[in-house]
Amino acid sequence: MARTREPQSAIVNRMLKGEATRDDTTTAQTNFLLWLRQEWAGDGDQALAACQDVLTAAGGEEWRALPERDLSAHVWLFSFSCPSREDLPGQARNWVTAVGANGGAPAIARLVRHLRGQPE
């Protein structure tokens, strides 16, 4: 019987809630590296630039006005969720909507920095 692969977004959600296991972290890192290879031919710079572009386009002026550290946190988390390159703008719009419904961009960025061990 084949095992169904869990969506990366479910693992990332557990990570944000502080409920991720060591296996979750390893799986998420592996999934991210596969995503980079499969969707972006291993070009991390291109992937992050594209993710930043679609997030700022989806978020409009509010997201373009975010401090660089907040935007960087969102770009990292959005890219780590392994969005499909085929529907990157649509997924960015969904992301911005979800962030707004869960405390807003600055609050989520603070959480991401905290989880990554980065200073406030």
The reported pTM is: 0.88
Please tell me the distance from the alpha carbon of residue 35 to that of residue 64, in angstroms, as a whole number: 26
Label residue 119 by pLDDT band (50, 70, 90): confident
pLDDT digit string, tens, across residues 61-80: 999 999 999 999 999 999 99
CA distances from 51 to 81, 89, 100, 101, 114 (A): 11, 9, 18, 20, 21
Among residues 8, 81, 93, 84, the alpha carbon closest in space to that of 39 is found at 84
Query: Cα separation of 2 and 102, whole Å?
Result: 35
Percent of the chain surpassing pLDDT 70: 97
pLDDT in tens, 1-24: 444 578 898 998 888 888 989 999
pLDDT digits (tens, 9 = 90+) for 48-65: 999 999 999 999 999 999
Q: Which residues contact 104 (CB under 8 A, 6 or more apart)?
A: none
Looking at residue 4, its pLDDT comes to 54
